[in-house]
Chain A
Amino acid sequence: MSKIIDTNKDYKYGFTTDIESFKAPKGLSEETIKFISKEKKEPKWLLDWRLKAYKRLKSLKEPNWQKPKYPKIDYQNLYYYSAPKSTKNKPKSLDEVDPKLIETYKKLGIPLDEQKRLSGVAVDAVFDSVSVATTFKGELTKKGIIFCSISEAIQKHPDLVKKYLGSVIPLTDHYFATLNSAVFTDGSFVYIPPNVRCPMELSTYFRINASQTGQFERTLIIADKGSYVSYLEGCTAPMRDENQLHAANVELVALDDAEIKYSTVQNWYPGDEEGKGGIYNFVTKRGACRGRNSKISWTQVETGSAITWKYPSCILQGDNSVGEFYSIAITNNHQKADTGTKMIHLGKNTKSKIISKGISAGKADNTYRGLVDISKKAENSRNYTQCDSLLMGNKCGAHTVPYIRNKNSSSTIEHEATTSKINEEQLFYCNQRGLNQEEAVSLIVNGFCKEVLQQLPMEFAVEAQKLVSISLEGSVG
């Protein structure tokens, strides 16, 4: 009943930039790690930390419990460090940045230049592994906010990095997180001092350019007491036949009364309609609500990647802390997504809310997998979970795998999930009013996702809304 139109030829970010790259020797080894560390002029403690992670990695096995299976990754055939050559001598202002790079960002529509200042977005763009240019630094510095690449933070704020790095995702975590700890190259670092409300939305744009490289960024965000920050992350990657690995770690720490809002629009290359190529997006994102009354909110729109495994989680340690997770995952053609969240309630009166919307079309598989765990001491805690799935066509799958544990009788958990197709009456209603099939589907799907889209900051919401429509073009007939 459904005709599938190739949506990937519309992948408008599928260009490659021809810039000479400076790469580490191929393969995963102690030498590679030492090379990365040396190249980034890292202190000894960090190198030791990396090597410790690598040592542990050797004893670990890749996880295999996830629903989507993938062909074996040859870790020895990857480049773990790739920097555009021209940045070897770091540019001091935007003018010094390679024009080709700027061109790339323009194509992506990233607001890197000064005019974009009006939109209030400060961007720390990560091109492959080295942070190229960071904008709006001045204004942020005035408030005492640190927003820079993690490499820079390691040089300039080693105490903060040392204190928090690996405190949420320890070295002893699962395979891909540990791999990241060993070979992470760059990423963003944010520190918001006490009682500061970050005046603008902070944003990074990740882009995988060189072929056969894995992208291993590490992001660390610390919101000190009483502070607030909203952070945006967007991802794109060029079209390539081979699969590329992306294993990032994101750590958030919220202290007393602090709030972190983390929004992601992920639009990595999903592979072609035959399922060839595309990004393996195996990301570990975890936030710790350490302080009382702290709050962490994850919002994600996942439309890209061949395989997505991603479970942004909240550890609700502080009393009265709040965790939220809003997600839209759209899979088309041969894409596979296995995503969800973990809400671990440890403190008293902790609250969490999960809203997950999954849409599958083509031959795709979409899984929500989540955990809500209320421990014995988490009195009067509360969780509400809602997972809705929409199926388009009879070749795709939608799955829900929630784990729910309540060990405290004063706490309440509510969970509901539904799976259905687009309501034909709604379609008919739209058609009758002159909308064609695609417009109607787009309208209904946007309505289905509304609860999540609402959570995104303005600029992102518009982009995400378009992305939702583009991703599903032609999948209903």
Chain B
Amino acid sequence: MELNFKIRDKSDKSLKLREENLSNFKKKGFPNKREEEWKFTDLEKFLKDNFDELNNDELNDKKPDFHEFSFIHNSVKLINGKLQSFDFKSENLKDKNHFSITNLDFNHHLNFANNLKDNPMQNLNTALHEGGFNLNISSDYKFKNPIVIYNYFTGTLKNKIINNSDSINLLKNSKATILEYLVDESKGNFFKNTFKYINLDENSHLDYYFINKNESRNFFYEFSKVQLSKNTNFKKYLFSSGIKFGKFESNIKLNGTNSCGEVYSGLFLNNNNHQEVKTTIQHLKPNCQSHQDVKNVITSGSKGVFQGKIFVEEIAQKTNAYQLSKGLLLDKDSEFSTKPELEIYADDVKCSHGSTSGNIDKDALFYLKARGIDNKEAVKMIIKGFLETVLDKIKNKEIMDILLNHFNKHIKYENRSN
């Protein structure tokens, strides 16, 4: 695989930093399975097997037709990772100071990126950084309607690598619901390397959803770094189905008392997909909570991976942390690998995890069939039941509808091993 990475940003200050990061990346290369963090996901091999070349040449952004949702919402449009336009009319505001959204420039990116220096993916992201969005929500502002981020990929993106970073910052007492909606209409394979920096100030609240519209042959790596202050609540919902390669990492720091971080995920993998969900939840202050529930439905030679870590600092007493990961393997060539990890240094805590994997329970299937439900329908019901605990957590009705719609499309497999 040839790497043709060029730094186009020639301003004095950035050039040096970018070059430094690029050479750091080149020293280590793409991570492979010899690294603990990538044990189950050999990125180097995946890229080598699927790309002859990777380059960051300029993209010819073609303006696509956006099919917007019909429910009332605010919209942000990204084309190939770059901020294109936004529309917040639905909030009906006279005063525009409640929030701002801008392109995230390189200098701003550096504010966040510095502390992740030894990560080659971060090095690469910084070296070839090409913007992203920067959303700021002022204190005491609570969004009335959800914000939908239409994340479009369009045009010929063969052998492209796209490096973006996004920042979402919620000031005191603010609240928002964000839906990132991935629409991939591009031609040719590309690799996207994204870093997200999310910060929640005291008493703020963010629900972040990720759903992809269509199946994608492309490669996505995403690292989210989330900082939570006192009395905050962050929920991440990850519903990606049919993405060829995806690794979604979340590093959630519970940095104030009474903060709460939650991760819910329901994934569909088919046609040799490989998807990994990786979470690190750091309990750094007392009285914090975290809850994780990850469900994978795996079929047709796909591989699902979950790596989750709960870390509890000495002073983080009264921590309540729970993590559940389940893999439903529907046919022979599917695989599910997990590493649910606990690292605990405080004693007055309640921490637990559970992990299971296996096929559809034969007794359950028999029960349904005995009641006259055919095999296909029965399997569908069981899969829905399997995902129920995750779907139950969705508070937003419109998003729930989108998701159910998607699932009905996706749950079409018959249980081939029976």
Contacts and interface: CB of A to CB of B under 8 A. Distances in A.
Interface of A: 65, 376, 389, 391-421
Nearest to B304: A406
Given A402-B340, A409-B331, A395 B356 contact: no
Contacts of B331: 409
Contact of B335 (A402, A407, A417): A407
29 contacts: A389-B344, A392-B347, A395-B314, A397-B343, A397-B345, A398-B344, A399-B341, A399-B343, A401-B341, A403-B39, A403-B338, A404-B337, A404-B339, A404-B355, A405-B338, A406-B335, A407-B335, A408-B332, A410-B359, A412-B357, A412-B359, A413-B356, A414-B356, A415-B338, A415-B356, A416-B352, A418-B352, A419-B342, A420-B351
Contacts of A409: 329-332, 334, 358-359, 417
A73 B346 CA distance: 31
Contacts of A411: 358
A405 B344 contact: no
Interface in B306-349: 314, 317, 327, 329-332, 334-349
Given A65-B36, A401-B339, A419 B349 contact: yes
Contact of A399 (B39, B332, B344): B344
Contact of A415 (B39, B330, B343, B355): B355
Interface residues of B, number: 37
Given A406-B329, A406-B337, A400 B353 contact: yes
Contact of A406 (B340, B343, B358): B358
A419 to B, nearest CB: 4
Contact of B355 (A394, A395, A402, A421): A402
A190 to B, nearest CB: 36
Interface string B116-139: 000000000000000000000000
Contacts of A403: 39, 337-339
Contacts of A416: 352-355
Given A394-B317, A406-B327, A409-B331, A415 B340 contact: yes
B277 to A, nearest CB: 14
A323 B332 CA distance: 24
Contacts of B28: none
Per CB-CB distance, the 8 closest pairs between chain A and chain B, nearest first, are A412-B358, A409-B329, A391-B347, A400-B342, A418-B352, A406-B357, A415-B355, A419-B351
A404 B342 CA distance: 14
A416 B355 CA distance: 6
A405 B359 contact: no
Interface in B178-221: none
A369 B20 CA distance: 38
Given A405-B336, A420-B350, 9 more contacts: A394-B314, A395-B314, A398-B344, A404-B357, A406-B337, A409-B329, A413-B357, A414-B356, A415-B353
Nearest to B332: A409
A413 B358 contact: yes
Given A65-B36, A393-B347, A398 B339 contact: no
Contacts of A392: 347
A404 B359 contact: no
Given A404-B338, A404-B355, A406-B335, A394 B350 contact: no
Given A404-B337, A409-B329, A410-B359, A391 B354 contact: no
B191 to A, nearest CB: 26
A452 B417 CA distance: 37
A248 B352 CA distance: 33
A394 B342 contact: no
Contacts of B337: 403-406
Contacts of B327: 406
Nearest to A382: B358
A398 B321 CA distance: 14
A385 to B, nearest CB: 9
Contact of A419 (B36, B338, B340, B352): B352
Interface string B353-389: 1111111000000000000000000000000000000
Of B327, B330, B342, B353, most A-chain CB atoms within 10 Å: B342
Nearest to B323: A417
B347 A402 contact: no
Given A416-B353, A419-B349, A391 B344 contact: yes
A392 B331 CA distance: 45
A157 to B, nearest CB: 41
B332 A398 contact: no
A397 B355 CA distance: 22
A405 B304 CA distance: 10
Contacts of B40: 405
A396 B345 CA distance: 6
Nearest to A407: B335
Listed residue (B331, B337, B355) with the most chain A CB atoms within 10 angstroms of its CB: B355
Contacts of B330: 409
Interface centre among A409, A419, A420 (most CB of B within 10 A): A409
